[in-house]
Structure 1
Amino acid sequence: MQGAVVIEFGAPWCGHCRLAQPLLRDWLADEAGATHIKIEDGKGRPLGRSFGVTLWPTVIVLEDGRERARLVRPTRASDLDGLRAALDA
């Protein structure tokens, strides 16, 4: 995909994913130019493995198909600063 894409790997039953949702929701509201794709990951689902995902949630920022930043298990708003910087670059 062209442009900024935020891919979020996780599972609806994952406690870490549920705790991160308010942070991610608020952050994504400020990033209107990015396309957000939420992917349910799990055993037998190869897409997450192809991105090297081993823990949830994992958020990856792509720009024109190239990885610019990655964040695993955010717990504070400041954890998202690296993702924000990748989108602003």
Structure 2
Amino acid sequence: MPTVTLTAETFESTIEGEGLVLVDFWAAWCAPCRRFAPVFEQSSQDHPDAVFAKVDTEAEQELAARLGITSIPTLMVFRDGILLYADAGALPAAALEDLIGQAERLDMDDVRRQVAEHEAQHDHSHA
């Protein structure tokens, strides 16, 4: 599946969908971003069931700021609306494949339980 371009208007609805969503935060002037782009594009073709999205941090400065993007490229991986991974740096193809494999193998019921427990503990500490 070809990569899709996300904006502030489409970001939330895209990441909240079911399945795997990978988001590449980039800019045209960023050399590591340009090196990572073909790796990301190839991976999108290898994984047609996942959504591969790109956010141009120059065009979407407000969105990037809201998400705390301080260096690029930054990759975020969501599954079923839950953020599983967020890190800066251009990944080599093998590392990206490994990351996707790990995200696909996760027991999302277990992840949701852990998120709920964390939120309950966090809410309790502010009570």
1:43 CA drift (Å) = 8.5
Moved segments of 4+, more than 6 Å: none
- What's the TM-score, normalizing by structure 2? 0.59
1:26 is matched with which residue: 17, 23, 42?
42
- What runs of 5+ residues in structure 1 fail to find an aligned partner? none
- What's the TM-score, normalizing by structure 1? 0.80
Q: Within 2, Cα distance between the matches of 1:82 and 1:19?
A: 18
Match of 2:21 in 1: 5
Q: Deviations over 1:4-53 (max 9, x none)?
A: 21111111221111011121112221221111221110397121122221
1:84 CA drift (Å) = 3.4
RMSD in angstroms over aligned alpha carbons?
2.1
Q: Within 2, Cα distance between the matches of 1:84 and 1:50?
A: 28
Would the aligned equivalents of 1:69 and 1:83 in 2 still touch at CA under 8 Å?
A: no
Q: Within 1, Cα distance between the matches of 2:52 and 2:46?
A: 12
Higher helix residue share = 2
The structure having more radius of gyration, on CA atoms, is 2
SS of equivalent to 2:42: helix
Relative contact order, higher structure (CA 8 A, sep 6+): 1
- What runs of 5+ residues in structure 2 fail to find an aligned partner? 1-15, 107-127
Higher strand residue share = 1
1:59 is matched with which residue: 71, 75, 90?
75
